[in-house]
């Protein structure tokens, strides 16, 4: 499909601690009321429960209520819905922090978080993924990643295989400076648009979150900056501007060759 402009809606809100039903209800209302004309709707990391390390309690079956809900939201809006939540391993291992990329036709892709946040014990409560994915939307090649992945530029590196990098997060306010600056760095170094979606409020462990969700063009310029406000914030990514910039400044042609083992 020829690349077209892409309308992105980021949903920034508080999360009810370990309460999937309440969170689905909150986000559902926001999605149905405030994401009109969106092509892509992005929810935070662990949007059903907050960043809980009680993984066995909050994990649900791969085909459980949240997957069904995401399909309903995608069909109702005609947009791709994405975000991560805890999913049980069918083989009986530790759960995954899994991002789902749900299309309006009910088909979907999944990405299991590669880099687990050891400072919170995530590496002991969840199972790491091993492969990143590239998905397509309106001619855009999209690489969706999760929170702590942002700190690892090799994993995020554009191998000339994506146009948009998406991060869903539960990134505490205490580290908001690295969050905002790393997102800009990922856009600039990869000549790609970047979307970062974070939560606001306080979680069940007393950690505060300041939001700071953002949509950036490939030059690192902010197109929408909601700060710490709750709500749905939308921006349109221009295919023409992205391709014109890459043609004028083709730094990607001089990138080093490498492989991830």
Q: Hey, which residues are catalytic here?
A: 45, 113, 147
Instruction: Give me 230's structure tokens.
Output: 């709750």
Using alpha carbons, select from 139, 138, 145 the residue that is nearest to residue 171.
Answer: 145
Cα 237 to Cα 193: distance, rounded to the nearest angstrom: 8
Distance CA(156)–CA(190), nearest Å, equals 9
Going through the chain in order, the beta strands assigned E by DSSP cover: 6-12, 40-42, 80-87, 96-102, 108-112, 135-137, 140-146, 164-168, 193-197, 200-202, 208-210, 214-216, 222-224, 231-237
For residue 202, the cross-strand partners are 208
62 and 99 Cβ atoms separated by less than 8 Å: no
- Write the burial class of residue 255 (CB in 10 Å: 0-12 exposed, 13-18 middle, 19+ buried): middle
Give me 46's structure tokens. 């662990």
Left, alpha or beta for 138 (phi > 0: left; psi -120 to 50: alpha)? left
> Token match 């998905």: residue?
135
Report whether 226 contacts 42 (CB < 8 A): no
């Amino acid at each position: 499909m020829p690349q077209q402009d892409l309308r992105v809606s980021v949903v920034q809100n508080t999360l009810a601690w370990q309460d999937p039903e309440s969170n689905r209800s909150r986000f559902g209302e926001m999605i149905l009321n405030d994401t009109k004309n969106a092509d892509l709707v992005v929810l935070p990391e662990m949007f059903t429960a907050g960043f809980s390390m009680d993984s066995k309690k909050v994990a649900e079956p791969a085909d459980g209520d949240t997957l069904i809900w995401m399909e309903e939201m995608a069909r109702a809006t005609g947009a791709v819905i994405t975000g991560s939540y805890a999913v049980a391993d069918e083989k009986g291992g530790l759960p995954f922090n899994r991002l789902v990329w749900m299309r309006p036709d009910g088909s979907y892709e999944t990405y299991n978080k590669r880099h687990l946040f050891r400072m919170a014990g995530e590496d002991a409560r969840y199972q790491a993924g091993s492969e990143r994915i590239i998905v397509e939307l309106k001619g855009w090649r999209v690489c969706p990643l999760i929170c702590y992945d942002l700190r690892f530029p090799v994993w995020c590196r554009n191998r000339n295989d994506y146009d948009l990098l998406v991060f869903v997060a539960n990134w505490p306010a205490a580290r908001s400076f690295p969050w905002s600056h790393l997102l800009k760095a990922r856009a600039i170094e990869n000549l790609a648009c970047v979307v970062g979606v974070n939560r606001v409020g306080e979680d069940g462990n007393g950690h505060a979150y300041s939001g700071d969700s953002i949509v950036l063009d490939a030059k690192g310029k902010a197109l929408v900056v909601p700060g710490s406000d709750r709500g749905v914030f939308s921006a349109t990514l221009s295919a023409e501007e992205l391709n014109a910039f890459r043609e004028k400044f083709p730094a990607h042609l001089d990138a080093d060759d490498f492989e991830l083992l």
